[in-house]
Structure 1
Amino acid sequence: MKLRILKSAVTNPWFNLATEDWIFQALGSDQKAPDTHTLFLWRNAETVVIGRSQNPWVECKTDKMAEDNVFLARRQSGGGAVFHDLGNTNFTFLSPKEGYDQTANFTIIINALKKLGIDATLSGRNDMQVGDRKISGSAFKHTADRSFHHGTLLVNADMQKLGDYLNPHPLKLKAKGIKSVRSRVANLVEFNEDITHDTLSTAIIEAFCEYYGQEANVEELDEASLAKQPTLNKYYQQMSDWDWRFGKTPEFSHRIETRFDWGMIDLHMDVKQAVIEEVVIFSDALNVELIDTLKESLTGIKYNKGDIRAKLDGLKQAQPDLAAQVDDFCGWLVGEMES
């Protein structure tokens, strides 16, 4: 088996996840790939990365993220939501199916940490910890002929922001899918104050080569060198697209209720692929036309505050006699969607 080592200088998460998928898919069909173990090292600017089957509105505070220019990314693999910043080092192992060895991958990371004076152990199937503190989580993806294992190592991540963005607002959502399990976590700098992304990356590369008894040159990846790859550009467009990040959300329902001067509202919305497919409103409001019009306006639009606000603003202009009540309803609904 040959070795290949790639390291990204780019911190855009959509680019890095697209690069990971490009390596997995495009290089997986390359003549060299069937006999190659590939190591990819990368890190992201401030990002919440959710698993393929997760609901972003349940897992994270999407409003605060937008306000603070924090990326939302959905990866191809499963697992829970994680917060990335420049204090995280991310690793990906890609191998042909017959040569894939998950235990070997964990051993390489544990050996790398030993080089830095940190004794880590494998915890369960997915995580690594130091003592009883989690310092790494992993997820996996397999096809008929190749596999990958990727994970994150907490080097010096901002734990306050991790809590800020990953502790969801308690919306009345009944979500189908995987909900994250919060764990007691620690940064590696707590065990070695001198550790950095670069020193950790170097240690992982050394441990990777030592484990397989070979040497390999490190290929530095950047946007300029990879932008010419049409397949990579296609993956990047998918990763950055709203329909991938939000539209792939499993079916869920959102129920909220309140009382206005003009009547009580009990709103039920069924959402599929981030589109509001069915709306039921129970109300004691005297204006039945208002309730019917609100239901019609919300049905079939994206579960997105901007789209909802735009549609209801249009309704106010089209029916100015309902403007005051529609304005009340819009302000309430958009406020309840903040998370």
Structure 2
Amino acid sequence: MILKTAGGSPHFNIALEEALLEESAEHGITVARLWVNPDSIIVGYTSDVGREVNIEQASAEGVPVVRRISGGGAVFHDLGNVNVSVYIPRRLGVDEAYALVTSIILKTLHRLGIEGRVENGNDVAVGPWKVSGSAAAIRARATLAHATLLLTTDPSKIRRLVIPQLHRVERGEVTPVKYNPNSLERITGERMEVWQAARLLEESVKHVLGEPENVGHDILQEAVVRARELCKTKYSQKEFWSPLGLGTCREPQVAPITSPSHVL
């Protein structure tokens, strides 16, 4: 099943990531999700928020910070960025999980006539710029792998809100691309809307995962109910998951993609 979700608060959208991972494990289903978040900073499970986020600036701009269940560092989401998440009902290795989502991004770029490459295992670069980052949450019975794709996001806003961990470059742990984000619009000079990218991502998901299996409406509703509870009791309430204060649980529209035109 390939889902699209539009709207919703960052706290609910991140809760839905955990809910769909649990549904994948319980029902043995493979699910992909194409989605967008309003302005927000999404930090990794082990992220040190004080080191990775410009908290003063985020507070001044009213940008919420939400912790996700996957690893990796802080990333900025806005409506100029589209996310792709894949939930696989088995335990994958970290490298295998990264390869899964980076291949979806690479195939999407190829469809646009853009040459991309993988750097640092979980980044996709075009020239000297990072256009996509990915992370994974690996459980005993299921794996979540998700990636961003910067379409029109202003990179100066990312730099203003997310603190680059340049000591990792100095130590040789990662290449400079890791902290050099840019949007496809600024790289190519051509604007691409989210719905256009979503169509291409949908085709890339099918190429990598195969044609989506049919999943009952009950399972989808079950995931939403689960996410609703996770958001209310965890992601919007607990300081660990919502470091800058209480969040909101505004629900997105959630629906399976049933035709090529039925995207974000």
Structure-1-length-normalised TM-score: 0.60
Cα 1:18–1:114 shift into 2, 3 Å? same
Look up the match of 2:42.
49
Structure having greater relative contact order (Cα 8 Å, sep ≥ 6): 2
Once the two structures are superposed, what CA deviation does each residue of 1:237-260 show, in whole Å capped at 9, x if it has no partner?
Answer: 21112423367xxxxxxxxxxxxx
Once the two structures are superposed, what CA deviation does each residue of 1:171-218 show, in whole Å capped at 9, x if it has no partner?
Answer: xxxxxxxxxx86112211122613221111110111222334425689
Cα 1:11–1:234 shift into 2, 3 Å? closer
AA at the equivalent of 2:17: E
Once the two structures are superposed, what CA deviation does each residue of 1:211-237 show, in whole Å capped at 9, x if it has no partner?
Answer: 3442568999xxxx9699442222112
Distance, in Å, in 2 between the alignment partners of 1:228 and 1:87 is: 26
Shift in Å, 1:142: 0.8
Look up the match of 1:39.
32
Contact 2:66/2:235 (CA < 8 Å) preserved in 1? yes
Shift in Å, 1:28: 2.2
Contact 1:11/1:42 (CA < 8 Å) preserved in 2? no
Cα 1:215–1:142 shift into 2, 3 Å? closer
Q: Secondary structure at the match of 2:240?
A: helix
Look up the match of 2:226.
231
Distance, in Å, in 2 between the alignment partners of 1:98 and 1:142 is: 6
Q: Secondary structure at the match of 2:160?
A: helix
Structure-2-length-normalised TM-score: 0.75
| 1:1-339 alignment, distance < 5 Å | 4-30=1-27, 34=28, 36-97=29-90, 101-102=96-97, 103-167=99-163, 183-189=179-185, 190-191=187-188, 193-214=190-211, 229-237=224-232, 238-245=234-241
Cα 1:194–1:160 shift into 2, 3 Å? closer
Structure 1: which 5+ residue stretches go unaligned?
A: 169-180, 248-303, 306-339
Distance, in Å, in 1 between the alignment partners of 2:68 and 2:54 is: 18
Structure 2: which 5+ residue stretches go unaligned?
A: 165-175, 246-264
AA at the equivalent of 1:137: G
Q: Which is strand-richer, 1 or 2?
A: 1
Larger radius of gyration: 1
AA at the equivalent of 1:193: E
Once the two structures are superposed, what CA deviation does each residue of 1:94-152 show, in whole Å capped at 9, x if it has no partner?
Answer: 11226784334322221111112211111131111112211111111111111111121
Cα 1:105–1:68 shift into 2, 3 Å? closer
Cα 1:57–1:124 shift into 2, 3 Å? closer
Contact 1:117/1:192 (CA < 8 Å) preserved in 2? no
Cα 1:230–1:211 shift into 2, 3 Å? closer
Distance, in Å, in 1 between the alignment partners of 2:62 and 2:130 is: 27
Q: Percent of pairs identical after alignment?
A: 27
Cα 1:41–1:96 shift into 2, 3 Å? same
Contact 2:109/2:115 (CA < 8 Å) preserved in 1? yes
Contact 1:5/1:218 (CA < 8 Å) preserved in 2? no
Contact 1:50/1:74 (CA < 8 Å) preserved in 2? yes
Once the two structures are superposed, what CA deviation does each residue of 1:46-94 show, in whole Å capped at 9, x if it has no partner?
Answer: 1111111122222222233223221111111111111111111111111
Distance, in Å, in 2 between the alignment partners of 1:192 and 1:39 is: 29
Q: Secondary structure at the match of 2:7?
A: coil
Aligned length: 226
Distance, in Å, in 2 between the alignment partners of 1:229 and 1:214 is: 23
Distance, in Å, in 2 between the alignment partners of 1:228 and 1:126 is: 27
Once the two structures are superposed, what CA deviation does each residue of 1:14-59 show, in whole Å capped at 9, x if it has no partner?
Answer: 11111111100134212xxx2x331111111111111111222222
